[in-house]
Amino acid sequence: MKSEFVTSATNKDQWPQTSLPEVVVVGRSNVGKSSFINALTQRKKLAYVGNTPGKTRLINFFTIDEKWMLVDVPGYGYAKMSKQMLLKMGTMMDEYFTQREQIAGVISLVDARHEPTHDDLDMIDTLKQLQIPIVVVATKIDKVPKTKRVKAIKVISQKLQLPMATVYPVSSVEKTGFELVYRAIQDWIR
């Protein structure tokens, strides 16, 4: 997989002028988004891991195999953010999700160990309203004991009111679970 950073944007005029389909990755700060993107693209540092949570406040665009774009949007739910910054980021995200025409699907990351948060629910509800295809990735599944994994996925799917078959357990540390994610992406971009 050939991945290349294209640009960062805060608003519409900075979005890259291409018509490639875009797969967007969203999730709470610290959910493991950078690790997920790096494992997915098999790059060590495409997305920067270990950032101060929420420090990445821009929409980052990457081309993958010159066929599609992976879009990394800022992690939400970062408690230490000012009201003003929250508003600004909200506007930036709204603009992107409502106006970017080539969004093919969204990979929504949630922590496999916990019930989805209020912020996770808000995000999913927005995407559902916009009729954007969603796949949920439950991150850090290696931290859930094997016997409790099915139950964890069930809880997440019920809380988000999405079919269990669209919730994929993944470990970016053990590099497991990515096959199904690739398959979902392939379905979206072809």
Please report, as ranges, the residues that interact with ligand GDP according to CB under 6 A: 27, 29-35, 49-50, 53, 75, 139-140, 142-143, 171-173
CB of residue 48 to ligand GDP, shortest distance in Å: 8
Tokens standing for 166?
Answer: 């669209």
Return the number of the residue (49 or 85) whose C-beta is nearest ligand GDP.
Answer: 49
Q: Please, which residues have CB within 8 angstroms of residue 51's CB and are 6 or more apart in sequence?
A: 34
Residue whose CB is less far from ligand GDP, 34 or 41: 34
* DSSP string covering 118-149: HHHHHHHHHHHHTT--EEEEEE-GGGS-GGGH
The smaller minimum CB distance to ligand GDP, of residues 25 and 92, is found at: 25
Residue closer to ligand GDP by CB (options 157, 172) is 172
- Least Å from the CB of residue 33 to ligand GDP: 3
d(CA 100, CA 88): 18
Residues 6+ apart with CB under 8 A from 77: 28, 29, 117, 119
Shortest distance, position 136 Cβ to ligand GDP, whole Å: 15
Q: How many CB atoms lie within 10 A of CB 173?
A: 14
Write down the least CB distance from residue 50 to ligand GDP, Å.
Answer: 5
